Chains A and B, each alone.
Chain A
Amino acid sequence: MEFKVALGPQHPALHEPISIRMTLDGEIIRDADLKLGYNHRGIEKLAESRTFIQNLYLTERICGICSFSHQTCYTQGVEKLMELVPARRGLYIRTLVCELERVHSHLLWLGVAGQEAGFESFFMYTWRDREVVMDILDWISGNRVHYSMNTFGGVRRDIDELQKKKILDTLGLLQQRTEFYLNLAASEPTFVGRLAGVGKLSKEQAIALCAVGPTLRASGVPMDVRKDDPYAVYDEVPFEVCTADSCDVLGRAVVRVKELIQSYRIIEFLLKNLPEGPFKVKAPRKVKENEVYSRYEAPRGENVHYIRSNGSDKPERLKVRAPTLANYAATIAMLKNGFIADIPLIFAAIDPCICCAERLVQLDDACSGERSVLTFSQLRAMANERYKKIDFRKKETAWPF
């Protein structure tokens, strides 16, 4: 007997508002149907009414994790439309931030995979290491999430010797930790047992359904935009495309860990070979009529922006295809004939984008109506102060709120 079960759009096991309608035969999923659009914000339409420079910061806000991917994809597209050659030092710094973003995104994913697989200490470890990368990004760009580093013709901020030295110093630690994870992902029996064989996607299916990124590479297809269609300075940087042949969630984990190690090598190369000179060149405001198809290898896979200009300072059309959309068709294939309990793991394995970052809290004083902005550390100090005043030893103490 077959059942139809709806999961989402809001569900504790999913991190994104997406709705799955499943046809079940006992515990086994026979068919799955996705319904999207719960978070559709109309950014493509909005972009048509903004100038090219305003759109730099709009495209950045498409995603909360791979914000730099969207911004870079858009920037290099517009640079081609402007026929502008960016500053070489700027391109090196841009590539550096690309790779730092990949490191933080893959570490985040490893943590999520560990948590979905019931391996919570793995989650704690990787997210602690991710803070190191987030701190580096904060240090060189001033922001943890939306770095706003790109501008047409280069980047907005330079890197000095001290920053260079600090990044190189911390790389060793990250490298050591990642090798430990690679060892763990390949040998820890409970982790391997949970991930192996889950979410099978054959090579033929992955190609036919146009999957991208680690999902595709874990099915044994060595497609990587950084190699196939090099942008920024990837044609000068030595690195390898990482693949796996197991076609399952374990393969996707191994591919990501291997990519982390490659990313550290790229970062080291970029910092040691950082050219001298200006980090940006002046860009025109108006763009003549043309079109461009810009590709970028985001942490989740190929990211695509199609930009069409009409001679004014605003784009005629901006089409964005985020990697997660490209992987949805493959996800349905992965879910079929799997178990209900594997849904969070399979979904997490394509690494769907999650937006979450909160840096400051705005408080409304209930008595005076006064508003104040506090940093997290101030807030924590206030909370500690408050709890020190409460005497927990008394049994009849009233609930403080």
Chain B
Amino acid sequence: MKPEAMLEKIISDRKDSILEAVLSAPRRIQVKVQHEQLNPVLAYLKEAFGLTHLGTISGNDLGDHFEVIYHLSSADSTVNVRLLTPRSDPKIPSVCAVIPGAILYERELQDMFGLKVENTPDPRPLLLADDWPSGEYPLRKDWKFERPAEVIPGGE
């Protein structure tokens, strides 16, 4: 199915559950959803268009909000489903029930942005070191790296 036809079908089928759907570039459809509609919309896209492949989940720090983008691909098109979550209480639903391959990306988001992924099957840290201090999320814009003072064991 052509991306233009896909976009029309998405809008006519799901106009209540999506906030916005546009074709931003050739073969790139942008869809905005709300928190509770994420899983139903992903399941619909998978069912109706065969968008089974989740490329990755990108996080963005927009200041007051975090933006989370699910990049879904099929042979015809790529659909970017985006979701906003407030910085004061960053929560997103887990999509592992619909797309089992999302698990590592969700764990990465938790590590890097401190988002709480609800009902994720495996909430353990993934990438950061075991002794990483809690409450520090490196990809947030207010996080700055400061090199710790060098200590030579045993002195000079």
Q: Which residues of A contact B (CB under 8 A)?
A: 35-37, 40, 42, 44-45, 80, 207-212, 223, 227-229, 292-293, 295, 302, 304, 306, 308, 316-317, 319, 321, 325-326, 328-330
Contact A329 B139 (CB under 8 A): no
Given A36-B126, A45-B139, A321-B56, check contact A223 B75 (CB 8 Å).
yes
Q: Which 9 A-B pairs have the closest CB atoms?
A: A210-B101, A321-B56, A37-B127, A209-B101, A306-B58, A319-B58, A228-B75, A304-B55, A208-B100
How far apart are A49's CB and chain B's nearest CB, in angstroms?
9
At the interface, yes or no: B104 with Cβ under 8 Å from chain A?
yes
Specify which chain A residues have a CB less than 8 angstroms from the CB of B28 in the assembled complex: 293
Specify which chain B residues have a CB less than 8 angstroms from the CB of A211 in the assembled complex: 101
Contact partner of A208 (CB less than 8 A), chosen from B25, B71, B99, B112, is B99
How far apart are B87's CB and chain A's nearest CB, in angstroms?
16
For the complex, what is the distance from the CA of A306 to the CA of B139, rounded to whole Å?
14
Contact partner of A80 (CB less than 8 A), chosen from B25, B71, B73, B112, is B25
List the A residue with the shortest CB-CB distance to B111. Answer: A37
How far apart are B105's CB and chain A's nearest CB, in angstroms?
8
Contact B138 A229 (CB under 8 A): no
A-B contact count (CB 8 A): 84
Contact partner of B71 (CB less than 8 A), chosen from A44, A293, A317, is A293
How far apart are A242's CB and chain B's nearest CB, in angstroms?
16
Contact partner of B53 (CB less than 8 A), chosen from A40, A207, A292, A293, is A207
**Could you tell me the dominant secondary structure of chain B's interface residues?**
mixed
Contact A325 B128 (CB under 8 A): no
Given A208-B99, A229-B27, check contact A40 B75 (CB 8 Å).
no
Number of B positions contacting A (CB below 8 A)? 35
At the interface, yes or no: B120 with Cβ under 8 Å from chain A?
no
A-facing mask of B40-74, CB < 8 A → 1, else 0? 00000000000011111011110000000101011
Specify which chain A residues have a CB less than 8 angstroms from the CB of B100 in the assembled complex: 208-209, 329
How far apart are B111's CB and chain A's nearest CB, in angstroms?
8
For the complex, what is the distance from the CA of A325 to the CA of B54, rounded to whole Å?
12
A-facing mask of B76-94, CB < 8 A → 1, else 0? 1010100000000000000
For the complex, what is the distance from the CA of A306 to the CA of B78, rounded to whole Å?
13
For the complex, what is the distance from the CA of A228 to the CA of B75, rounded to whole Å?
5
Task: Give the one of A40, A211, A293, A317 with max B CB within 10 A.
Answer: A293
A-B contact pairs, 22 of them (CB 8 A): A37-B127, A37-B128, A37-B129, A44-B112, A44-B139, A45-B145, A208-B99, A210-B99, A210-B101, A223-B53, A227-B75, A228-B76, A229-B27, A292-B25, A293-B55, A304-B56, A317-B61, A319-B58, A321-B56, A326-B55, A329-B101, A329-B104
Contact A308 B60 (CB under 8 A): yes
